[in-house]
A and B are shown apart, each in its own frame.
Chain A
Amino acid sequence: MSKALQQKLTARFGARILAATSQHGDEAVVVAPADWREVHLFLRDDPSSQMQMLIDLCGVDYPDREPRFEVVTHLYSLTKKHRLRVKTAVGDADGDDAVVDSLLSVWRSADWMEREAFDMFGVRFAGHPDLRRILTYPEFEGHPLRKDYPAARTQPLVPYREGAGVQGKLAPFGADEGMPFGRQTHGAPGSPEVN
C-alpha cells in the first residue's frame, strides 16, 4: 500500500531519497539529514500521503557505522490508513555532531520523542526550543542507550557509603556490583563492562 507512496517520494525528490526498502510488510525510505524536515513536511501535506500522525521517533546506535546513529520515524495516516518509516543517519564515530532538524513544527508529538532521543542517544534536534533530558535527570552523564554505555554502570545522586559499621542508609549494592547477570554481546570493543 505504501509502495505507491515510496514511488511518489522518489518521483518528487529523485536521488535525494537514498533508499526505499520493504521488509516484513513495512515500507521504509532513507533520506539525508538535510532533507529530513522537508520530506516529513511533504508527507504530512501531500494529498496522496496525508500523514496526520507522527507515531514514533527513536534513535538506533550502530557504533561500527559512519554516520553512527539512525534516527527513525514511523508515520501514520488516519484517512489513508497507511504507514511509512523514514530514516536518516547522523553523527561521527564519537557520537558528536549528531544534529538533525527538529520536527516539532511539523507534529507536536515530536516534542517529547525528540527529547527522549536526545536523552538516550545524544542526538540533537536543531530548532527544538526545550531540548532537555526527559527520562533521566539533569546531572546524568552520558547517554544510556548508546552501545558503549555500560549497562551495569550506576550513577547515584547520593554517593554510596563505604566501610564497615556504617550507621544509617547504605545503598543496596555497591557501584561495581549492579546486575551481575545477563550477557553484553554488543559492547563496543575495549569498553569496560563495569565502570
Chain B
Amino acid sequence: MEPLDQDLDESELELPAEPMQLKMGPAHPAMHGTVRMMLEVSGETIVKCDVQVGYLHRAFEKMCERGTWGQVFPYVDRLNYVSPMLNNNAFAMAVEKMLGIKPTERCEYYRVVLGELARICDHLTCNGAMAMELGAFTPFLWFIKARDMVWDIFEEETGARLTHSFGRIGGMAKPPTKRFKEHVRAAVAGVLALVKEGEALLLSNRIFIDRLDGVGVMTPELASAYGWTGPCLRSTGVAYDVRKAHPYSVYDRFDFDVPVGTTGDNYDRFMVRLEELRQSARIVAQALEQMPDDGPVMVEDARVTLPPKDEVYKTIEGTIQHFKIVMEGVKVPAGECYSYTEAGNGELGFYLVSDGSGTPYRVRIRPPCFIITSALHHLIEGGMIADIVPTFGSMNMIGGECDH
C-alpha cells in the first residue's frame, strides 16, 4: 500500500475531462431487469444515452407462425403481462375482423369489463412501482393490494391470476360466473378506496412531487413524431384515445372522459394514469349495468366454434368439426388486416397476414411501449442520473411487450 502522505504531482490528481461511461442495467432494480442504458455522464448530468432493449426477446412473432391461430392466445398473454386480458381481446378482435365475425352482445360487455379491470391493474402497477422506485414503499403495497382484489376476480372467472389465455376467436372461453357482477362491483369499490388512500400518501408529499414535476418533459409535436400513444401521449395534451377516436366493441355506449395533461412531464403521466383508472371504473359500472344476464358468449359459427362435447362424442359430424378446428386450426381467409385497440400503454395493433390456412403467415404486433421507449433517450439526456428512475418508471415499459 502506498503511503498516504506521498508527494504527488498536482496534475495527477485531476479528474479526467472526457465524459465518463456509465452502464445502467439490465440488472438494476429500476430497469425492470430488461433494459440497459449506456450513459455518458459529465458530473451528474447525462450527456448522451443509448437505451438497449431486447433482453426479454422470445421471438414471439416467429412462434406465432408455428401453431394455429387459436394457439397464439397464450403467447399474447405474455406480451404485456400486467394486463393480459387486453391483449387477448385485441388479438381476438383482429382475427374476427379478418373472419368477418361479430361477437355476441354479452361477450362484448364481458370483454369490456375484464379489459377495463386489466387496465386498472396496469395503471396501478405502473404508478405503484414508480412510487416504490422513488422510495415510497407504502403506497406500492396499497396499490398492489388493490391489484390483488382485481386478480381475485380474474382467478374466479378464468382460473388464472395472470396468464389467462381466456380469449377465443369469436368469443370467450367461458360465460361469466353466477356472481360476476356482484364480485366486480365490490372489488372496484374496494380498489377505489385503496387508491384514494394510496394517492393521499403521495400527492401531499413534497419530495415525491418535486421528483416528478417538470422532469422528463415531452412536447405534443415530438410525442406524435415519436409515435407515442396511450397515457404518455395524452399527458402531453393530445386527447387521442382509440376508445374515443375510433370506438370499437361497445365503447360508444359508455360515458367516460379522456384525461389529458398539460406539460407532458412525469407528474402529468402519473396523474393521467390515476384519472384513467377512475374512468375505467366508470366504464365498468356502466358496462355491468347494460350487460345482459344470459345469452351465449361465443358465436354460433361452425368455422370457429367447437361443437358441444355431447355432439363430439355421439356424432361423426361433431367429431370431425372438433378435430378440424383443433388440429388444423381456424381457417382464416387469405388477406391482411390491421386491427388496433387501446391497451394499457397505448395503441396495441395487430397486423395479420393470412395465406388461407389454419396457421398465421405473419403476426406483427405493434407494441406501444417499444415505441414509447424509443424516445426515452430524448427525455433523459441533459437531466440528472437520479431523474432516470422516475422518468423510466412513468413510461411503464413492460419487458414482454417491448422486447416481443
Name A's B-contacting residues (CB within 8 A). Answer: 23-26, 28, 52-56, 58, 60-61, 72, 74, 78, 81, 83, 85, 107-109, 111-113, 116, 120, 133-137, 144-145, 149, 151, 182-186
User: Is there contact, CB below 8 Å, between A108 and B337?
Assistant: no
- Interface residues as binary, B329-340 with A (CB distance below 8 Å gives 1, 0 otherwise): 000000111101
Name B's A-contacting residues (CB within 8 A). Answer: 52-54, 57, 59, 61-63, 65-67, 97-98, 100, 222, 224-227, 229, 238, 240, 245-246, 335-338, 340, 347, 349, 351, 353, 355, 357, 359, 361-362, 364, 366, 370-371, 373-375, 403-404
Set of chain B residues within 8 Å of A151, measured between Cβ atoms: 59, 62-63, 65-66
Set of chain A residues within 8 Å of B227, measured between Cβ atoms: 53-55, 107-109, 113
User: Is there contact, CB below 8 Å, between B54 and A183?
Assistant: no
When chains A and B are docked, how far (Å) is the Cα of A94 from the Cα of B112? 46
Q: How far is the CB of B325 from chain A (nearest CB, A)?
A: 15
User: Is there contact, CB below 8 Å, between A109 and B62?
Assistant: no
User: Is there contact, CB below 8 Å, between B240 and A74?
Assistant: no
User: Is there contact, CB below 8 Å, between B374 and A135?
Assistant: no
When chains A and B are docked, how far (Å) is the Cα of A144 from the Cα of B57? 11
Q: How far is the CB of A166 from chain B (nearest CB, A)?
A: 27
Given contacts A151-B63, A182-B66, A183-B67, contact A74 B338 (CB under 8 A): yes
Closest to A28 in B: B336
Q: How far is the CB of A38 from chain B (nearest CB, A)?
A: 19
User: Is there contact, CB below 8 Å, between A56 and B351?
Assistant: yes
When chains A and B are docked, how far (Å) is the Cα of A5 from the Cα of B264? 32
Closest to A134 in B: B54
Set of chain B residues within 8 Å of A149, measured between Cβ atoms: 62
Given contacts A81-B245, A112-B374, A135-B403, contact A183 B66 (CB under 8 A): yes
User: Is there contact, CB below 8 Å, between A26 and B370?
Assistant: no
When chains A and B are docked, how far (Å) is the Cα of A144 from the Cα of B371? 21
Set of chain B residues within 8 Å of A134, measured between Cβ atoms: 52-54
When chains A and B are docked, how far (Å) is the Cα of A9 from the Cα of B373? 33
Set of chain A residues within 8 Å of B224, measured between Cβ atoms: 52-53, 78
User: Is there contact, CB below 8 Å, between A74 and B366?
Assistant: yes
Closest to B94 in A: A24
When chains A and B are docked, how far (Å) is the Cα of A116 from the Cα of B59? 12
New A-B pairs, 5, CB < 8 Å, besides A24-B337, A58-B351, A78-B240: A24-B97, A26-B337, A72-B364, A81-B245, A81-B246
Set of chain B residues within 8 Å of A135, measured between Cβ atoms: 53-54, 57, 403-404
When chains A and B are docked, how far (Å) is the Cα of A112 from the Cα of B229? 16
When chains A and B are docked, how far (Å) is the Cα of A136 from the Cα of B238? 34
